[in-house]
Amino acid sequence: MKKKGQVTVFIIVGIVLLLIVGLIFFQKGQDTTKSVFINKDLVSIPYSSSVQNFVQSCFEQVTELGVIRTGHQGGYWESPLDYSILFFDDTLPYYYADETSMVISEENAEHELENYIKERLPECVQDFSIYEDEGYEIIASSIDVNVNFGNQILVELQYPLTIQKGITVLELNDFVHILDVNMRKFFDVAHKIVEKHQETDGYICLTCIDEWASEEDVIITVFPIYDTGPFENDILWFTLWDKNNKEIRNRNFTFEFVLESIPRIDEEELEMEDIVSFDILSGVFFEYQIETNKDDVIFYDDTDLFDIDDKGLIQFIPSEDQQGSHFVEIEAEDKNGNTDSELLLLTIS
């Protein structure tokens, strides 16, 4: 009886040990299964990187081509047909026509580039057909693009992608591209050009153009051309580009637009009345009004005896130390820069 009891105890202990060992192996088996699943995810990372790099490359290419196109077309991807001129491969927008400024707003120009990217990106990725033979299944959702102009162009793309290969499923979404092009300064210069065009009735202010070019570090060219389209009018074609020679895809970035020439009405020349000589006394108030054949004229003098006002009025009391003869040149200038001058002789005694 005693030996039988001992055998029973050994059997029970053996069963317990067997259960413990089995439990250990079961847990190890669970851990092995879990590590294999993790390894599958790790192995799939190069696959997602390949797709991500492909989309990023397409995104950058489309964005850069869009910046080139919208720059050549004054901020537009699709220029307004009613107010544009076809010039070689580009459609140049009118920034001034029918006595109205038509400079595109910065916000609308951002939307133009956004729409270009939305339209052209799917053409570049081609439904990810290059990955079909590699066993990928890629599902693309709708594209959303946000463009922000400043000292640089910031383009943010949201393009939700679900990538599956075998049992592995991954998702991609956000892409970013930055271009070293300051679009804002081109819009600022364009506004100044149009405003001056209106102020001077179409006369080109070359000194103003030089000043703006220096301030914004850009090059500005202007050429008169003839619009053979529906307008059949004379226009001015402006081209702006960065002095630092910003290149995109080995092409200089330019910003271009046209202005309708303002018909010039033949004006009579600015003429100042003949000024007589004056003998005046020191200590006695002197007053004289200069007359011209035009209004809106500014006057200048080259003497320390007095300061002629903007309307051509001379007023002063000569002092004893100013006695003698004085030749004073009086110059008048109209709003278009036309000038005339006369010599005034004052003899003070």
On whether both 289 and 185 belong to a single domain, the answer is no
CATH number reported for the structural domain that contains residue 333 in this entry: 2.60.40.10
- Does residue 226 lie within any of the structural domains? yes
On whether both 304 and 211 belong to a single domain, the answer is no
Residues 113-117: what's their mean pLDDT? 97
Phi, psi of 77 (to 5 degrees): -90, -45
- Does residue 16 lie within any of the structural domains? no
For 193-220, b/e burial (b = at least 16 CB within 10 A) is bbeebeeeebeebeebbeebbeebebeb
On whether both 309 and 213 belong to a single domain, the answer is no
Query: Is the pLDDT higher at 266 or at 216?
Result: 216
What is the pLDDT at residue 207?
Answer: 87
On whether both 245 and 318 belong to a single domain, the answer is no
Percent of the chain predicted with pLDDT > 90 = 57
User: Which tens digits make up the pLDDT trace of 299-346?
Assistant: 999 999 999 998 999 999 999 999 999 999 999 998 877 899 999 999
On whether both 196 and 255 belong to a single domain, the answer is yes
pLDDT at 137 over 80: yes
Token pair for residue 138? 């890629």
Query: Is the pLDDT higher at 336 or at 251?
Result: 251
**In whole angstroms, what is the distance from residue 301 CA to residue 297 CA?**
14
Beta-carbon count within 10 A of 36 CB:
9
User: Which tens digits make up the pLDDT trace of 196-215?
Assistant: 998 887 778 888 999 999 99
On whether both 250 and 318 belong to a single domain, the answer is no
What is the pLDDT at residue 9?
Answer: 46
- Distances from the Cα of 239 to the Cα of 11, 35, 278, angstroms: 98, 62, 54
What DSSP letter does each residue of 290-318 carry, written as one string? --BSSSS-EEEE--SS----TT-EEEE--
Query: Using DSSP, how many helices (H) and how many strands (E) does the chain show?
Result: 4, 18
Look up the domain containing 300 and give its range: 278-348
Residues 148-155: what's their mean pLDDT? 95
| Residue partners of 91: CB distance under 8 A and separation at least 6 | 73, 76, 79, 84, 85
Last residue of a domain, one of 203, 236, 264: 264
On whether both 150 and 53 belong to a single domain, the answer is yes
User: Which tens digits make up the pLDDT trace of 5-53?
Assistant: 444 444 444 554 544 445 444 444 444 333 333 233 333 345 567 899 9
- Does residue 270 lie within any of the structural domains? no
pLDDT at 262 over 70: yes
What is the pLDDT at residue 81?
Answer: 72
The amino acid at residue 5 is G
- Does residue 12 lie within any of the structural domains? no
User: Which tens digits make up the pLDDT trace of 157-179?
Assistant: 999 999 998 888 889 999 999 99
Mean pLDDT of the chain, nearest integer: 83
Question: Please, are residues 237 and 223 in contact by the beta-carbon 8 Å criterion?
Answer: yes
Token pair for residue 344? 């005034």
Query: Is the pLDDT higher at 335 or at 265?
Result: 335
- For residue 314, which of 336, 292, 285 has the smallest C-alpha distance? 285
The label of the residue with tokens 């943010």 reads: 156
pLDDT at 55 over 60: yes
On whether both 64 and 210 belong to a single domain, the answer is yes
pLDDT at 250 over 90: no
Overall domain count for the chain = 2
Percent of the chain predicted with pLDDT > 70 = 83
| Strand ranges for the chain from DSSP E | 84-87, 90-97, 100-101, 137-140, 144-149, 153-165, 168-179, 218-226, 234-242, 247-248, 251-252, 255-260, 278-280, 286-289, 298-301, 313-316, 324-333, 339-348
What is the pLDDT at residue 14?
Answer: 52
On whether both 119 and 253 belong to a single domain, the answer is yes
- Does residue 1 lie within any of the structural domains? no
Last residue of a domain, one of 264, 295, 330: 264
- Does residue 22 lie within any of the structural domains? no
On whether both 248 and 291 belong to a single domain, the answer is no
What is the pLDDT at residue 25?
Answer: 42
Identify the weakest region by mean pLDDT among 145-154, 176-185, 249-258: 249-258
Last residue of a domain, one of 264, 298, 322: 264
- Does residue 312 lie within any of the structural domains? yes
On whether both 171 and 101 belong to a single domain, the answer is yes
What is the pLDDT at residue 49?
Answer: 78
**In whole angstroms, what is the distance from residue 74 CA to residue 164 CA?**
42
Residues 243-266: what's their mean pLDDT? 82
Question: What pTM was estimated for this model as a whole?
Answer: 0.63
Query: Is the pLDDT higher at 107 or at 91?
Result: 107
- Does residue 114 lie within any of the structural domains? yes
What is the pLDDT at residue 335?
Answer: 80
On whether both 229 and 290 belong to a single domain, the answer is no
Query: Euclidean distance between the first and final Cα of the chain, in Å?
Result: 159
Query: Is the pLDDT higher at 206 or at 220?
Result: 220
**In whole angstroms, what is the distance from residue 346 CA to residue 286 CA?**
11
What is the pLDDT at residue 242?
Answer: 92
